[in-house]
Amino acid sequence: MDISLAYVLDLIITHAHVVLFGVVVGMIVGATPGLTSSNSTAIMLPFILTLDPTTGTIFVISLHAGAQVGNSFPAILLNIPGTPSSAVTTLEGYPLACEGKASLALGVCVLASALGGLIGGVVSILSVPLLSSVALEFSPVELTIIILFGLVIIGQISQGGVWKGFLSGLFGLMAATCGPDPMWGVYRGDFGIVLLYDGIPIVSCLVGLLAFSEMFKLLIEKDKQAEVLQQKISLKLILQGFREVLKRPVETLRSAFIGLVVGAIPGAGGSIAAPIAYQQSMTFSSPEEKARFGKGSISGLMSADVSNNACVGGALIPLMTLALPGSSTDAVLLVALSFHGLVLGPEFLTMNGDMAYAVLFSQFTAAFCIAFVGVLLAWVAGRIINVSMTVLIPIISILAFIGGFAETQLTFGIWIMLLSGILGYFMKKYQYVPLAFLLGLVLGSKFETNLFCGLRMGHNSFSIFFEGPIALTLWGLLALTITFPWLHNLYRTRRAGR
């Protein structure tokens, strides 16, 4: 493969405006509840097909990267996550906004996303062939253990106690069984309602649990919330958020690594990477920082955003080497590449090396666009919280209804959103955790699918989950993750005693 570096750089400079446009569109898409980079890319597919393959691919990747940071704006300012992967952001971002630190939280998310994209770009360029072969080694057995990392977080995020967290997560896991059985296709838990045959709409449920429930809270505590949220959005404080991220290089690298590995595994994505990165951040934080989790932790906030954008680079690895989409957005992109008649799979880099590396290097341009454009859009978006509650509540309601309708295109999605909103309000009131329920719902179907596939591979024997070096390594890491906080506290107590 003979590729001229000057030619690749020329392609990057030529398509810089495409990257900028894609990032801006992605941020707007990400900030709109109910819209995701995947469904927006699918809607724009006819337009994307009119572009040449390089331009179209760079536009889609830039849109995907922009959407990952755009998701954080409503999550921080309104407690409305755009996607399941940004739901973790609400856990730390919104409490910071309520403390008068919305500018700081926005700055943390912008730079964390930019660094995640930058690190993802570097690693995807240097190790495309290596990581793609490693990703192929992850069967449903290993995916089951990885999803367990995400489920472990459920009991650790409850301010009302571990048991309330686990009960919320268990309820979510039970709700995830609604719909067809992943192995045999038998319908269960639908109560005879045809509209539940495909399961509970996750986006509608997400918007209801975390956004519409917040509207009820604003209505009841309107004066209190108005006093808390009224604050000035300062460029100086946004840049201070940048400094907070730069103070945590280990946290950044660890979260980026998690995002890259999970993103490179087809079918995983940010909905798994963000909870794992958040949980690992909680595990390895100091006792003082750990006490801040759930109340406005900088480490917890940045870990989710770094891993989200690192997933974008990770997802490119199996796409460009194996023709396996690492995310739903990449699945739409794969359709576009096939339309242009490109050779996909292991020969893609050999046959289209200039295009492939132009796309990979464009992640650097996208990261810088996120850093600079993100500051401007964060400053503009931050003005939302200074709007009067009498105006803000109807706006939240309209956005919630749009988000409830967007996934199913049916009024049924709106009803699910309303019921989830009522449930979410009472869960918050009695200190149960809506996010734990949501994690159970999102990860439950993935866990069940991979668990049953693994059992079939092992002829209905659980021993297959404890065979092979990758599985045993993952079990060891999971055990360390669970026991490390207890061992660390025990060590500190004995050391203090001595």
Quick check: is 239 in a domain?
yes
Domain membership of residue 206 as a residue range? 5-136+199-401
Which has more confidence, 129 or 149?
Answer: 149
SS3 of 100-152: CCHHHHHHHHHHHHHHHHHHHHHHHHHCHHHHHHHHHCCCHHHHHHHHHHHHH
Quick check: is 466 in a domain?
no
pLDDT tens-digit profile of 407-434?
A: 677 888 888 888 888 888 888 778 777 7
Amino acid at 494: R
For 180, phi and psi rounded to 5 degrees?
-75, 140
**Pairing state between β 179-180 and 187-188:** antiparallel
For residue 68, give the nearest of 15, 123, 106, 29 by alpha carbon.
29
pLDDT tens-digit profile of 277-332?
A: 887 888 777 777 777 887 788 888 888 888 888 888 777 777 777 666 666 677 66
> Would you say the C-alpha torsion 322, 327, 330, 332 has a positive or negative sign?
positive
Instruction: Place 28 in a pLDDT band, splitting at 50, 70 and 90.
Output: confident
Mean pLDDT computed over 235-256: 86
Quick check: is 471 in a domain?
no
Per DSSP, the three-state class of 182 is coil
Count the domains in the chain: 1
pLDDT in the model for residue 132: 52
Instruction: Place 445 in a pLDDT band, splitting at 50, 70 and 90.
Output: confident
Quick check: is 317 in a domain?
yes
Quick check: is 171 in a domain?
no
Quick check: is 142 in a domain?
no
Quick check: is 262 in a domain?
yes
In the beta sheet, which residues pair with residue 180? 187
Per DSSP, the three-state class of 275 is helix
Quick check: is 241 in a domain?
yes
Contact of 141 with 451, CB cutoff 8 Å: no
Distance of CA 67 to the CA centre of its chain: 10
Q: CA-to-CA distance for 253 and 247, rounded, in angstroms?
A: 12
The verdict on pTM exceeding 0.85 is no
Contact of 96 with 236, CB cutoff 8 Å: no
Largest CA distance in the chain: 71
Q: Which two tokens stand for residue 495?
A: 């050391």
Which residues lie closer than 8 Å to 498 by C-beta, 6 or more apart? none
Residue 113 has pLDDT above 50, yes or no: yes
- In terms of residues, how long is the chain? 498
Give start and end residues of each alpha helix (H) in 284-410. Answer: 287-290, 298-322, 328-339, 348-351, 353-381, 389-406
